[in-house]
Amino acid sequence: MNKKILLISRQAPYGTSTAREAIDIALAASVYDQDIGILFMDDGVFQLLKSQQSQNIDQKNIASILPALALYGIENIYVHQESLDARTIRTNELVLDDLQLLNNKDVGQLLSQQDQLMSF
């Protein structure tokens, strides 16, 4: 039975490996045909900036990995609008363009529809 699983990614990239781990788990789980969604909120929205040049710190660019989500069939990619606003990030600065922007109430509803939450 497929479970509805939502990964909630709330940490900035590079400072810790948490952000990368969430994406790796999303990609791995999708191979097993799970119903995966991923929500970026709080500092997690910094992962979405297309201006990232992580070669300067010898790390793999998160922004270059994110397009793989769609290739792996993960279409439910959500972003918390207020987290973007608080960091003055506009949607045209984001590396993905098929994102679903959610307000506070939408996020609450999204969480209540899941069978399993994973927090990163």
Partner 1 sequence: MSTLHTINKSPFANNTLFSCLKICTESDGVLLLEDGVFGTITSAPGADELQLLIQRGVKVFALINDIKARGLEEKLAPNIEPIDYNTFVQLTLDHRCVQSWY
Closest to partner 1 by CB, 20 or 80: 80
Closest to partner 1 by CB, 63 or 77: 77
Closest to partner 1 by CB, 91 or 109: 109
Closest to partner 1 by CB, 30 or 114: 114
Q: Smallest distance from the beta carbon of 106 to partner 1, in angstroms?
A: 9
Which is nearest to 20 in space by CA: 64, 55, 57?
64
Q: Smallest distance from the beta carbon of 120 to partner 1, in angstroms?
A: 9
What is the contact surface with partner 1 in residues (CB under 8 A)? 8, 10, 41-42, 80, 82, 104-105, 107-109, 111-112, 114-117, 119
Distance CA 115, CA 2 (A): 9
**28, 48, 77, 89, 120 from 67: Cα distances, Å:** 15, 10, 11, 19, 19
**10, 13, 27 from 52: Cα distances, Å:** 17, 10, 21
Q: Smallest distance from the beta carbon of 64 to partner 1, in angstroms?
A: 27
Q: Smallest distance from the beta carbon of 76 to partner 1, in angstroms?
A: 16
> What one-character DSSP code corresponds to residue 60?
-
